[in-house]
């Protein structure tokens, strides 16, 4: 029972932290002349609005077993009437979420962000009612809405991007007769000695190997940029 509740809290706080992170990052990135600070050079698509919640959800769920063990030990070390094991889970997950948000603007020192996150976690853990059935039910009920929100964002953003791409492709003029058909593939940070077409033992690039057999394979090429 405790493990299931901690997983619910991990999912809830992970999604909330991800939603807030995606929203804050997008606002700072897209606001003209806004407080972008060191983020001005970063190029992040709007898909971050649903990718960030999924990433945080995965991280928080991975920590749930360890948090459950700590919460269980806390309950064993104290009297049953005074035990508040789920409050520890709220503290840890809130602190993690607060740390994620504090580091988005990239302005706080690492230890300052940690101290701020721990302080927020303690205050939220003391203020939130999570040990009573009624208090925990609020988290489990609202978790469905959080999942629906992230799913809707993914559908809208991915579907919108696909629709725009399809519209753009339909608006392209047909290629003139005799035009070359060129496919340019650019791979960043890929070492040649890890491509099977260049002698690597494992078959890592079967499709590129096929292109290499049917075309020209440059064994030595130098470029000042990708």
Residue 37 has pLDDT above 50, yes or no: no
The predicted structure's pLDDT at residue 147 = 95
| Residue 175 banded pLDDT, cuts 50, 70, 90 | confident
122 or 84, greater pLDDT? 122
HSE, CB side, 13 Å, CA atoms: give it for residue 44.
23
**Distance from C-alpha of 100 to C-alpha of 94, rounded to nearest angstrom:** 10
Residue 14 has pLDDT above 90, yes or no: yes
**Distance from C-alpha of 92 to C-alpha of 100, rounded to nearest angstrom:** 12
Q: How many CB atoms lie within 10 A of CB 30?
A: 11
The predicted structure's pLDDT at residue 130 = 87
Q: How many CB atoms lie within 10 A of CB 91?
A: 22
The predicted structure's pLDDT at residue 76 = 73
Taking only the tens place, the pLDDT of each residue in 178-206 is 888 888 878 878 888 889 988 899 999 89
- Residues with Cβ within 8 Å of residue 3, at least 6 apart in sequence: 64, 65, 68
Across residues 125-134, what is the average pLDDT?
87
Q: What are the C-alpha distances in Å from 218 to residues 41, 137, 190, 197, 215?
A: 34, 63, 15, 11, 10
**Distance from C-alpha of 22 to C-alpha of 4, rounded to nearest angstrom:** 27
- Residues with Cβ within 8 Å of residue 8, at least 6 apart in sequence: 136, 139, 140, 143
The predicted structure's pLDDT at residue 33 = 59
Residue 36 has pLDDT above 50, yes or no: no
The predicted structure's pLDDT at residue 12 = 95
Taking only the tens place, the pLDDT of each residue in 82-116 is 447 788 889 999 999 999 998 887 778 889 999 99
């Amino acid at each position: 029972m405790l493990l299931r509740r901690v997983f619910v809290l991990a999912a809830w706080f992970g999604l909330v932290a991800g939603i807030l992170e995606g929203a804050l990052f997008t606002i700072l990135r897209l606001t003209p002349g806004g407080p972008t600070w060191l983020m001005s050079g970063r190029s992040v698509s709007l898909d971050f609005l649903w990718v960030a919640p999924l990433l945080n959800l995965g991280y928080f769920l991975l920590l749930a077993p360890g948090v459950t063990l700590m919460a269980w030990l806390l309950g064993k070390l104290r009297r049953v009437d005074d035990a508040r094991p789920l409050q520890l889970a709220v503290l840890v997950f809130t602190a993690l979420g607060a740390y994620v948000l504090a580091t988005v603007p990239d302005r706080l020192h690492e230890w300052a962000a940690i101290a701020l996150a721990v302080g927020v976690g303690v205050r939220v853990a003391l203020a939130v009612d999570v040990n009573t059935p009624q208090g925990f039910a609020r988290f489990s009920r609202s978790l469905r809405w959080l999942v629906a929100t992230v799913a809707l964002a993914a559908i809208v953003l991915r579907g919108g991007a696909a629709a725009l791409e399809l519209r753009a492709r339909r608006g392209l003029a047909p290629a003139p007769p005799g035009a070359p058909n060129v496919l340019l593939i650019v791979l960043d940070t890929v070492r040649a000695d890890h491509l099977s077409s260049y002698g690597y033992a494992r078959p890592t690039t079967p499709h590129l190997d096929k292109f290499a057999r049917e075309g020209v394979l440059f064994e030595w090429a130098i470029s000042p940029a990708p």
